[in-house]
Amino acid sequence: MSPEFQRAVTALIAAIPRGKVLTYGRVAELAGYPRHARHVGRLLGTAPQGALPWHRVVGACGRIARPGTESADWQRALLEAEGVTLQARGTVDLARHLWHPEAGQQVGRTPASA
DNA sequence: CAATTGACGCGGT
DNA sequence: TACCGCGCCAATT
């Protein structure tokens, strides 16, 4: 995993607005590394906790990762605290809170040659 | 060097 | 709707 990947992903997640969320796959894709959804998860797992709003990253269908763990419960609490409407199953309503990054806000792979 | 795992994702049964 | 399997890409053992 190149440090660039980590930089792009962490920066991207850190850029997620409050009350919005992104899916692992989306983060990887926006960071410039499609199919690297798992690596995003791995990165968050290895990344220092409290360093970035990892709670704004959810599964493909708005599902919270590792259900049953304290982390999952904590994540839900954080999301609700941000005003994120959770569906009955405890999943995030992506239709309402999926972050739609605007062009120019791309954090990963900064076009230095632009 | 080969096998297994992992904060994932999608399709099939 | 719930459960199972396969694909992905790197890291670890």
The residue to which tokens 């990892």 are assigned: A54
Q: What is the distance in angstroms measured between the alpha-carbon CA of A113 and the sugar C1' of C2?
A: 49
Which residues of chain A carry a pLDDT beneath 50? 111-114
**How high is the pLDDT of residue A48?**
79
DSSP A99: -
Q: Estimate in Å the CA A94 to C1' B13 gap, whole number.
A: 27
Please give the domain boundaries of chain A with CATH numbers for all domains: 3-97 (1.10.10.10)
Average pLDDT of chain A, as a whole number? 89
Q: Write out residues whose CB is closer than 7 A to strand B.
A: A 23-26, 37-42, 44-45, 47, 49, 54, 59-61, 63, 65-66, 71, 75
pLDDT per position as a tens digit, A46-55: 887 788 999 9
Helix H or strand E segment including A30: helix A24-31
